[in-house]
C-alpha cells in the first residue's frame, strides 16, 4: 500500500534543496493538512496558517513561493481568495493508484470471498470503518 503522507515527508527529507526552518515547517504543515483532506487539493488562508504556525503572513507567503519554485508544492491563488494547495508528483501517484477496472470477471471463480474483499478494502488510505456495513451489504 502506498502511504502518500510518508512519501511526501520523505520527499522533503531526501530533497537536496536548501530550505529554511520556516519553509520546512510550512511544507510539513501543508502535507499534514493534505492528509487530513484525504490527499485531495485543499484550501487554506495565509492568515490562518500564519496564526497556527506562529509565523508572520509575509514569512508564509515567502516560504510557499520558495516551495513552489523548488517544485515541492503547487498552489494557486487569486486576490482576496484562499490559496488552493496540492503536491506535485504525489497527486499523480494517488490518481493512478486508484484506477479501477470495471470489466466483468471472465470466470465467476475470480470473485473474492467477503473476508478477503474487506481485508483488501481496509488497505486503502480512503477506507473508513463507518463504511464497513455498506461494504458488507453491497457485497
Could you tell me where the beta strands, DSSP code E, fall in the chain?
Answer: 42-44, 74-76, 83-86
Residue 93 neighbours by CB under 8 Å, 6+ apart? 2, 4, 7
Catalogue all structural domains in the chain, each as residue range(s) with its CATH number.
Answer: 4-94 (1.10.10.10), 104-138 (no CATH)
pLDDT band of 120, cuts 50, 70, 90: confident
State the pTM of this model: 0.61
CA atoms of 39 and 89, how far apart (whole Å): 12
Q: Who has greater pLDDT, 14 or 37?
A: 37
CA atoms of 139 and 136, how far apart (whole Å): 5
CA atoms of 16 and 107, how far apart (whole Å): 50
Amino acid at each position: 500500500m502506498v502511504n502518500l503522507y510518508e512519501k511526501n515527508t520523505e520527499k522533503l527529507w531526501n530533497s537536496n534543496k536548501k530550505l529554511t526552518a520556516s519553509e520546512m515547517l510550512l511544507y510539513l504543515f501543508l502535507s499534514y493538512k493534505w492528509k487530513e483532506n484525504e490527499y485531495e487539493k485543499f484550501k487554506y488562508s495565509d492568515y490562518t496558517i500564519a496564526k497556527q504556525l506562529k509565523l508572520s503572513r509575509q514569512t508564509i507567503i515567502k516560504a510557499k513561493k520558495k516551495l513552489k519554485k523548488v517544485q515541492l508544492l503547487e498552489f494557486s491563488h487569486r486576490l482576496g481568495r484562499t490559496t488552493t494547495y496540492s503536491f506535485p508528483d504525489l497527486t499523480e501517484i494517488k490518481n493512478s493508484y486508484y484506477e479501477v477496472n470495471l470489466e466483468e470477471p471472465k470466470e465467476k471463480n475470480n470473485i473474492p470471498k467477503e473476508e478477503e474483499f474487506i481485508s483488501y478494502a481496509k488497505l486503502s488510505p480512503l477506507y473508513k470503518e463507518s463504511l464497513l456495513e455498506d461494504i458488507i451489504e453491497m457485497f
